[in-house]
Amino acid sequence: MPEISEFGPDLYTLVDEEGVEQTFELLDVMEAEGNTYYALVPYAENPEDVLEGSDELVVLKMEEVDGEELLASIEDDEEFERIGQMFLDRIMEEFEDEDEAETEE
Protein backbone atom coordinates (compact mmCIF):
# COMPACT_ATOMS: atom_id res chain seq x y z
CA MET A 1 0.00 0.00 0.00
CA PRO A 2 1.42 3.44 -0.91
CA GLU A 3 2.49 5.89 1.76
CA ILE A 4 2.84 9.65 1.70
CA SER A 5 6.43 10.61 0.82
CA GLU A 6 8.35 13.24 2.75
CA PHE A 7 10.49 14.08 -0.30
CA GLY A 8 7.95 15.02 -2.93
CA PRO A 9 4.42 14.44 -4.06
CA ASP A 10 3.03 10.92 -4.28
CA LEU A 11 1.70 10.62 -7.80
CA TYR A 12 -0.80 8.13 -9.15
CA THR A 13 -1.69 7.59 -12.78
CA LEU A 14 -5.30 6.52 -12.91
CA VAL A 15 -7.22 5.17 -15.87
CA ASP A 16 -10.90 6.11 -16.14
CA GLU A 17 -13.69 4.00 -17.60
CA GLU A 18 -12.95 5.33 -21.11
CA GLY A 19 -9.28 4.33 -20.83
CA VAL A 20 -8.01 7.91 -20.42
CA GLU A 21 -4.99 8.27 -18.12
CA GLN A 22 -4.60 11.20 -15.73
CA THR A 23 -2.01 11.85 -13.05
CA PHE A 24 -3.14 12.76 -9.54
CA GLU A 25 -1.32 13.89 -6.41
CA LEU A 26 -2.13 12.24 -3.10
CA LEU A 27 -3.36 14.69 -0.47
CA ASP A 28 -4.38 12.40 2.35
CA VAL A 29 -5.06 8.81 3.38
CA MET A 30 -7.65 7.96 5.99
CA GLU A 31 -8.86 4.83 7.73
CA ALA A 32 -12.61 4.94 8.38
CA GLU A 33 -15.40 2.44 8.78
CA GLY A 34 -12.93 -0.44 8.36
CA ASN A 35 -11.71 0.81 4.96
CA THR A 36 -8.81 2.85 3.60
CA TYR A 37 -9.69 5.95 1.59
CA TYR A 38 -7.51 8.22 -0.54
CA ALA A 39 -8.01 11.91 -1.38
CA LEU A 40 -6.31 13.03 -4.60
CA VAL A 41 -6.22 16.13 -6.81
CA PRO A 42 -5.17 16.45 -10.46
CA TYR A 43 -1.39 16.90 -10.61
CA ALA A 44 0.31 19.92 -12.17
CA GLU A 45 4.11 20.23 -12.33
CA ASN A 46 3.95 24.02 -12.18
CA PRO A 47 2.47 25.34 -8.88
CA GLU A 48 0.85 28.23 -10.76
CA ASP A 49 -1.10 25.72 -12.84
CA VAL A 50 -2.52 24.23 -9.63
CA LEU A 51 -3.96 27.61 -8.67
CA GLU A 52 -5.56 27.97 -12.10
CA GLY A 53 -6.83 24.36 -12.17
CA SER A 54 -10.09 22.92 -11.04
CA ASP A 55 -11.08 22.37 -7.44
CA GLU A 56 -11.57 18.69 -8.14
CA LEU A 57 -11.07 16.39 -5.15
CA VAL A 58 -11.11 12.71 -6.05
CA VAL A 59 -11.96 10.29 -3.24
CA LEU A 60 -11.22 6.62 -3.83
CA LYS A 61 -11.44 3.47 -1.75
CA MET A 62 -8.82 0.73 -1.47
CA GLU A 63 -10.26 -2.61 -2.51
CA GLU A 64 -8.66 -6.01 -2.81
CA VAL A 65 -9.39 -7.85 -6.05
CA ASP A 66 -7.83 -11.26 -6.63
CA GLY A 67 -5.23 -10.55 -3.93
CA GLU A 68 -4.25 -7.21 -5.50
CA GLU A 69 -4.92 -3.82 -3.89
CA LEU A 70 -6.67 -1.37 -6.23
CA LEU A 71 -8.04 2.15 -5.87
CA ALA A 72 -11.70 2.15 -6.84
CA SER A 73 -14.57 4.62 -7.07
CA ILE A 74 -17.00 4.71 -4.18
CA GLU A 75 -20.30 3.49 -5.63
CA ASP A 76 -22.54 4.27 -2.64
CA ASP A 77 -23.55 7.96 -2.76
CA GLU A 78 -24.04 8.25 1.00
CA GLU A 79 -20.63 6.70 1.71
CA PHE A 80 -19.02 8.99 -0.89
CA GLU A 81 -20.60 12.13 0.62
CA ARG A 82 -19.72 11.10 4.19
CA ILE A 83 -16.07 10.23 3.42
CA GLY A 84 -15.65 13.23 1.10
CA GLN A 85 -16.85 15.56 3.87
CA MET A 86 -14.47 13.93 6.35
CA PHE A 87 -11.56 14.63 3.97
CA LEU A 88 -12.69 18.23 3.38
CA ASP A 89 -12.91 18.78 7.14
CA ARG A 90 -9.40 17.35 7.62
CA ILE A 91 -7.96 19.47 4.78
CA MET A 92 -9.62 22.66 6.06
CA GLU A 93 -8.34 21.93 9.58
CA GLU A 94 -4.80 21.49 8.20
CA PHE A 95 -4.96 24.86 6.41
CA GLU A 96 -6.30 26.54 9.56
CA ASP A 97 -3.44 25.05 11.59
CA GLU A 98 -0.90 26.32 9.02
CA ASP A 99 -2.46 29.80 9.07
CA GLU A 100 -2.31 29.90 12.88
CA ALA A 101 1.35 28.79 12.84
CA GLU A 102 2.22 31.53 10.33
CA THR A 103 0.40 34.13 12.43
CA GLU A 104 2.38 33.12 15.54
CA GLU A 105 5.74 33.57 13.77
Mean pLDDT of 38-45: 88
Query: Which residue type is seen at 39?
Result: A
pLDDT of residue 37: 97
The rounded distance, in Å, linking the Cα atoms of 3 and 48 is 26
Answer whether residue 51 shows pLDDT above 70.
no
Contact between residue 66 and residue 57 where contact means Cβ atoms under 8 Å apart: no
CB atoms within 10 A of CB 73: 13
- Please compute the mean of the pLDDT values over residues 10-25 and round it to a whole number: 89
Residue predicted with more confidence, 17 or 2: 17
**Quick one: pLDDT at residue 98?**
67
Q: Which of 33-42, 58-67, 70-79, 93-102 has the lowest mean pLDDT?
A: 93-102
Q: Is 69 left (phi over 0), alpha (psi -120 to 50) or beta?
A: beta
- At residue 101, the 3 state secondary structure works out as helix
